[in-house]
Chain A
Amino acid sequence: MEALSRAWRSDFSWSFRHSPVAIISLGVVLLLVLSALLAPWVAPHNPFDPASLNLMNGFTRPMEPNAFTQEIFWLGTDDQGRDVFSTILYGMRISLFVGFTAVLFALILGVTLGLIAGYAGGWTETTIMRVADVQLTFPAILVAMLIFGIAKGITPVDMRDEMAIWVLIIAIGLSDWVQFARVVRGATLVEKNKEYVQAARLIGRKPGAIMLRHILPNVMSPVLVIATISLALAIIAEATLSFLGVGAPPTQPSLGTLIRIGQGYLFSGEWWIILFPAITLLALALSVNLLGDWLRDALNPKLR
């Protein structure tokens, strides 16, 4: 109780309560994440179960009965007779899962390398940071596609579908670690010369322990901000890759795959196949991004 009321009275919480943008963004994110998590119970159909699909339901308009089966779908159906609403919920699971896992992967990799570079200095730092600089010169999506291509080449053919999601995660994660490494290295350079670190060194703590127990907690707040913004970028990166046809397998569509499918029907007038997944992707990416922006401001003492 005590802790709760202290949290309520904190600057952080105050800033949140006084930012309508943050409140709405968090609301949208929570709504989308929850409906994705609960998709098996919320969605009226399971679009990943091919046996449950009826092709005659294909291209049903939103809120109108299908000409053959008389079934009604809130947001219409796609070319295979998949309910667009259910497919969005299930597709969002893949988008969010890939996004979260990829950012987590990038975060662990980037923070570790950043800490080591900042703390060790010398050629270790030079090597790590030059690699990071070189990678920064390529657009992230290009790096992700390169990694995806290599992984496709070396995974056995019959494993590709199962591996596709993990390859996607690694590809996006590897293209995104640089931001974390640079920020953490910078913060570490500042922290490592402070008295508490020197004290820890004097009493003989090992470098690993100093990095993990002493420096890491003090460099984490910018990491949190980058992680939030990276999440939005990772979701978009996944959508981009899937849109280009190199991401999630067609039988397990993510939001990007749905948009790709819908794009083929833009001229023929089936607007709902692309519109609703696109709106969902936009809402998800935008609110995560806005949340990240607010977090950056809230955690920045200079802006208070």
Chain B
Amino acid sequence: MLSRTALAMLTAAMLSGTAAAETFRWSSDTDPQTMDPHAVNSAPVLGFLNNVYEGLVRRDKGMAVEGALAERWEPIGKDGWRFHLRKGVTFHDGSKFNAEDVLFSYQRASSEAADTASWFAPVSEVKIVDDHTIDFLTTAPNPIFPDSIANFMILDKGWAEDNNAALPSKEEENFATLNANGTGAFKLVERQPGLKTVLEPHGGWWGTVEHNITRAEFTPIQNPATAVAALLSGDVDMINPVPVQDAAKLKQRDAVTVIEGIEARVIMLGFAHAAETLKYGADAGKPNPFRDARVRKAVAHSVNVDAILQTIMRGSATAESQLISPAMRGYSKDLSSRPAVDVGKARALLAEAGYADGFSFGLKCPNDRYLNDESVCQAVVSMLAKIGLKAELDAMPVRNYWPELRADNFDMYLLGWSPGTFDAEHPIRFLAHTPNKEKKLGSWNFGDFSNSRVDELLPQIQSEIDDSKRQAMLDESAKILQDEMAYVPLYVQPLIWGTRDNVDLTQRPDNFFILRWTTVK
């Protein structure tokens, strides 16, 4: 009798033990390329590192900005913001957080070596007031500045300097690409690029713990079928994304839940605007036809987005005509129609531009970054073939893709853009403004699109406080980008996550998976 009770107690203890100590496993198709929060400005990196590092401010479940390392902030005069820093915050290695770390992180993240420099384009100076107060001065009034730095993550000055990582490194490895020391709710305990990344809760975290995770393991799984199989078998507790083709079937399964939402990410085609000659295909070395807006328009008229959405995307995405989705602030409502699919018109435009017989060029495409990216590129290739454009497709994993784009190794490429600020100004700053290292603008404008009016509008948009005036300028800029066909926007990608039924989590619209909102039952 006694032993039976003991056994029951033991079982109960074991059961409760498993309930309290939870290892959470999740997977995504893209591995965050780096653990350095300033080295690559992409959602897989920033999304992952939001669990490890923190900014002055952060976004809550509904994307609204709330205090993180800054408790509160207020404008100082017209041209700046004062941040009052949280006291008693420690980094994962135990060192104290103070204003020095913020200043250092600002210098690091705005340096030329960083990929995040554009965030600080409006900043003229950063001044430490005292240990826990810091001022960000801007060149012009900037009402959205605190909103725009939610992903500006703070790292420890001493740690970075001691480990020879005072500057970020985009492509080569340094200490900070493989290690992390933030103030976030989770600390990095193991990093094997492309294989496995392990996080554990940070005991000294300042916030209130909502999760019940004791260890979290991230594994990138590139093959969509493998990811689905891993979720069904319980090898992982969550996958992002669920392959669009499997969503319908997965919804019928018992132990798993499909969570859908609309992502802010617009998938588009980009061009080499400045290159004198084509780089790939049979016509490599000949003058670059994409410098001519008529050729870019011909491309827009030849791509049948609806066909892509109905087949490859299974109806779970919506066509798009601008660089942002309608859900974003500052969307131009009157410019919402896409160029009609019209092979005849496309051919006429090509003939007008002097390319009646078409030409051959190279299309670069990632194969592990966006939903069905390679399939979409292949479909684009066959659609372009119908107007006589022969695209040579080169699809590659994203860790090779960004370096290729940065090195201008493309004639045409596929890009997805999600505005981190959820505002129409963001893509103009990153994708449309003439690349300018000094002003930290146009940092993802790989094709060097340049339009003087757009360049002129951007600072005015940034400092305009009146909503209708601001919208008028955003509309004007969106109109120019459409008329010039700087990019060919295709569609807004859906958000589809799959979880085991015993997992409770929050799907944030920017596709960031925040571990501290996750509980395992």
Number of interface residues of B (CB under 8 A): 39
- Interchain CB contact (< 8 A) of A55 among B243, B311, B384, B393: B311
0/1 string, A250-274, CB within 8 A of B gives 1: 1100000000000111111110000
Distance A160 CA – B281 CA, assembled complex (angstroms):
11
B311 touches A58 (CB 8 A): yes
Interface residue A2 (Cβ < 8 Å from any Cβ of B): no
- Interchain CB contact (< 8 A) of A268 among B229, B249, B281, B375: B249
Interface centre among B248, B250, B308, B375 (most CB of A within 10 A): B375
- Interchain CB contact (< 8 A) of B245 among A80, A251, A264: A264
Interface residue B238 (Cβ < 8 Å from any Cβ of A): no
Which of A45-53, A126-134, A293-301 lines the interface with chain B?
A45-53
Known A-B contacts A56-B307, A58-B311, A79-B312; A250 and B395 likewise in contact (beta carbons under 8 Å): yes
Interface residue B223 (Cβ < 8 Å from any Cβ of A): yes
0/1 string, A41-80, CB within 8 A of B gives 1: 0000000011101011011000000001000000000011
Known A-B contacts A157-B409, A160-B394, A264-B224; A55 and B249 likewise in contact (beta carbons under 8 Å): no
- Taking CB atoms, residues of chain A closer than 8 Å to B307 are 55-56
- Taking CB atoms, residues of chain B closer than 8 Å to A53 are 382, 385
0/1 string, A75-95, CB within 8 A of B gives 1: 000011100000000000000
Interface residue B383 (Cβ < 8 Å from any Cβ of A): yes
A51 touches B386 (CB 8 A): yes
Distance A270 CA – B248 CA, assembled complex (angstroms):
13
Distance A59 CA – B375 CA, assembled complex (angstroms):
13
0/1 string, B390-408, CB within 8 A of A gives 1: 0111110000000000000
Interface residue B362 (Cβ < 8 Å from any Cβ of A): yes
B225 touches A266 (CB 8 A): yes
Distance A270 CA – B384 CA, assembled complex (angstroms):
27
B225 touches A251 (CB 8 A): no
Interface residue B446 (Cβ < 8 Å from any Cβ of A): no
Known A-B contacts A50-B381, A55-B383, A158-B362; A263 and B395 likewise in contact (beta carbons under 8 Å): no
B246 touches A80 (CB 8 A): no
Known A-B contacts A55-B304, A55-B308; A251 and B243 likewise in contact (beta carbons under 8 Å): no
Distance A79 CA – B372 CA, assembled complex (angstroms):
10
In the complex, what's the smallest C-beta–C-beta distance from B361 to chain A, in angstroms? Answer: 11
Distance A59 CA – B379 CA, assembled complex (angstroms):
13
A50 touches B385 (CB 8 A): yes
Interface residue A161 (Cβ < 8 Å from any Cβ of B): yes
- Interchain CB contact (< 8 A) of A56 among B223, B310, B378, B385: B310
Interface residue B374 (Cβ < 8 Å from any Cβ of A): yes
Interface residue B284 (Cβ < 8 Å from any Cβ of A): yes
A250 touches B374 (CB 8 A): yes
Distance A51 CA – B389 CA, assembled complex (angstroms):
9
Distance A81 CA – B394 CA, assembled complex (angstroms):
20
- Taking CB atoms, residues of chain B closer than 8 Å to A59 are 311
In the complex, what's the smallest C-beta–C-beta distance from B229 to chain A, in angstroms? Answer: 7
Known A-B contacts A49-B385, A51-B385, A56-B311; A80 and B378 likewise in contact (beta carbons under 8 Å): yes
0/1 string, B302-340, CB within 8 A of A gives 1: 001001101110000000000000000000000000000
In the complex, what's the smallest C-beta–C-beta distance from B370 to chain A, in angstroms? Answer: 15
In the complex, what's the smallest C-beta–C-beta distance from A46 to chain B, in angstroms? Answer: 12
A269 touches B249 (CB 8 A): yes
A57, closest chain B residue (CB) = B311
Interface residue B228 (Cβ < 8 Å from any Cβ of A): yes
Q: Can you list 14 pairs linking A and B with CB atoms under 8 Å apart?
A: A49-B385, A50-B381, A55-B307, A55-B311, A55-B382, A58-B311, A68-B310, A80-B379, A80-B382, A157-B394, A263-B223, A264-B223, A268-B246, A269-B249
Known: A50-B382, A55-B311, A58-B312; 17 extra A-B contacts, CB below 8 A, are A49-B385, A53-B385, A55-B383, A56-B307, A79-B311, A79-B312, A80-B375, A80-B378, A80-B382, A81-B311, A158-B280, A161-B392, A250-B374, A264-B224, A267-B225, A267-B243, A268-B248
Q: Which 9 A-B pairs have the closest CB atoms?
A: A58-B311, A51-B385, A50-B382, A268-B245, A50-B385, A53-B382, A55-B307, A267-B246, A268-B246
- Chain B positions near chain A (C-beta within 8 angstroms): 223-225, 228-229, 243, 245-246, 248-250, 279-281, 284, 304, 307-308, 310-312, 362, 372, 374-375, 378-379, 381-386, 391-395, 409
